[in-house]
């Protein structure tokens, strides 16, 4: 079988490789693929792997030989699942490969905001500490995490991993989740959405993106938060209304925002979050530790092998 990888660079970043796939099939790797190049590159292939390249119904209709799509991510919204199912194309994803990496990024943002390590390091390069009249100086209000409340929206793999780290810091963990209260891990308290918005010192987003969660962080919910609240988004960009958050930051409705994702990526040059007060953005890299990317490749290889053997795993369209 022939496998085409449409956007392999984001996964390998030149420090990993696809050798394990090449041992089991003919593999053609493209670092990046534009929408106009998809059909040409995929023709003749039985299997296609994609991270962010969209495979919509019109595209799939022009690929009658295609039998398998492997999404190189947990979310699979880049594939028209209904169209794939109609064409009997098996679609798989890569679940839970970056759980620890994402939870780590949540606290990288939190610690950056509450301890301002990056800020002080930069100020000291400019000579501020050298010219201080005292042995130390403070130009930001620092505070401890112990005893603070963190509200977690969505208690899947990354939500639970984030909660465990928070408990280690001595935080009180609140969760908005569909899980029953008695089924939650020890130390996690189930609350309503309004309670979470009103009580939390820090809010972290870990829910899937759907019609109910799109723009869950909006002007109305921001107005319910403490003025000292911090919001963290390592989930999906559209969970947040970028304009509403930027306005809330600039008007001191909330204290800070840390995010690894935005609504449109790469971030638009005119996105108001880029210039908002106390807004800290990283370029969608929470998933991208070396370990997580290697784990992704390993699971991808397992998925491909299982499909070739006729026993697909991690299949998201069970109807095929």
Catalytic entry in 46, 109, 206, 284: 284
User: What tens digit of pLDDT does each residue of 132-154 get?
Assistant: 999 999 999 999 999 999 999 99
Catalytic entry in 109, 236, 293, 295: 236
Is the preceding omega at residue 266 within 30 degrees of 0, hence cis? yes
User: Does the predicted TM-score (pTM) go above 0.85?
Assistant: yes
Average pLDDT, the chain: 97
Residue found under tokens 């969760």: 175
**pLDDT value, residue 167:** 98
**pLDDT value, residue 149:** 98
User: What tens digit of pLDDT does each residue of 103-139 get?
Assistant: 999 999 999 999 999 999 999 999 999 999 999 999 9
Is 284 part of the annotated catalytic residue set?
Answer: yes
Is 265 part of the annotated catalytic residue set?
Answer: yes
Do 85 and 317 form a contact (C-beta atoms < 8 A)? yes
> In which band, very low, low, confident or very high, does the pLDDT at 232 lie, cut at 50, 70 and 90?
very high
Task: Kindly state the percentage of the chain with pLDDT values over 70.
Answer: 100
User: What tens digit of pLDDT does each residue of 16-46 get?
Assistant: 999 999 999 999 999 999 999 999 999 999 9
Catalytic entry in 265, 290, 291, 319: 265
Domains in the chain: ranges and CATH:
2-97+290-308 (3.40.50.720), 99-281 (3.40.50.720)
> In which band, very low, low, confident or very high, does the pLDDT at 68 lie, cut at 50, 70 and 90?
very high
User: What tens digit of pLDDT does each residue of 154-192 get?
Assistant: 999 999 999 999 999 999 999 999 999 999 999 999 999
User: What tens digit of pLDDT does each residue of 291-312 get?
Assistant: 999 999 999 999 999 999 999 9
**pLDDT value, residue 2:** 97
Is 189 part of the annotated catalytic residue set?
Answer: no
Rounded to the nearest 10 degrees, the angle between the axes of helix 290-308 and helix 99-115 is 160
How many Å apart are CA 92 and CA 318, to the nearest integer? 10
How many Å apart are CA 257 and CA 296, to the nearest integer? 29
Task: Kindly state the percentage of the chain with pLDDT values over 90.
Answer: 99
């Amino acid at each position: 079988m022939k496998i085409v990888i449409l956007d392999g660079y984001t996964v390998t970043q030149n420090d990993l490789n696809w050798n394990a796939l090449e041992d089991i099939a003919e593999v053609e790797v493209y670092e990046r693929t534009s929408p106009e190049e998809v059909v040409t590159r995929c023709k003749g292939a039985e299997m296609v792997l994609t991270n962010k390249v969209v495979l919509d119904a019109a595209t799939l209709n022009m690929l009658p030989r295609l039998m398998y799509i492997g999404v190189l991510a947990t979310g699979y919204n880049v594939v028209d699942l209904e169209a794939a199912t109609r064409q009997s194309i098996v679609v798989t994803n890569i679940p839970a490969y970056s759980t620890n990496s994402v939870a780590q990024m949540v606290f990288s943002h939190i610690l950056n905001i509450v301890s301002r390590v990056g800020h002080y390091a930069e100020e000291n390069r400019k000579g501020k500490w050298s010219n201080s009249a005292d042995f130390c100086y403070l130009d930001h209000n620092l505070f401890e995490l112990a005893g603070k409340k963190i509200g977690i929206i969505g208690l899947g793999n990354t939500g639970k991993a984030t909660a465990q780290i928070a408990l280690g810091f001595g935080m009180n963990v609140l969760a908005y989740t569909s899980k029953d209260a008695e089924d939650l891990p020890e130390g996690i308290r189930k609350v309503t959405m309004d309670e979470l918005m009103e009580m939390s010192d820090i809010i972290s987003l870990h829910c899937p993106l759907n019609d109910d969660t799109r723009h869950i962080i909006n002007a109305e919910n921001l107005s319910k938060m403490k003025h000292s609240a911090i919001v963290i988004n390592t989930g999906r960009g559209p969970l947040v209304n970028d304009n509403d958050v930027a306005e809330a930051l600039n008007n001191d409705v909330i204290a800070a925002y840390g995010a690894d994702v935005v609504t449109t990526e790469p971030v638009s040059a005119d996105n108001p979050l880029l210039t908002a007060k106390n807004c800290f953005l990283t370029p969608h890299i929470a998933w991208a530790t070396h370990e997580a990317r290697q784990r992704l490749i390993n699971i991808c290889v397992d998925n491909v092998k299982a499909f070739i053997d006729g026993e697909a795993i991690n299949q998201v369209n069970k109807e095929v």
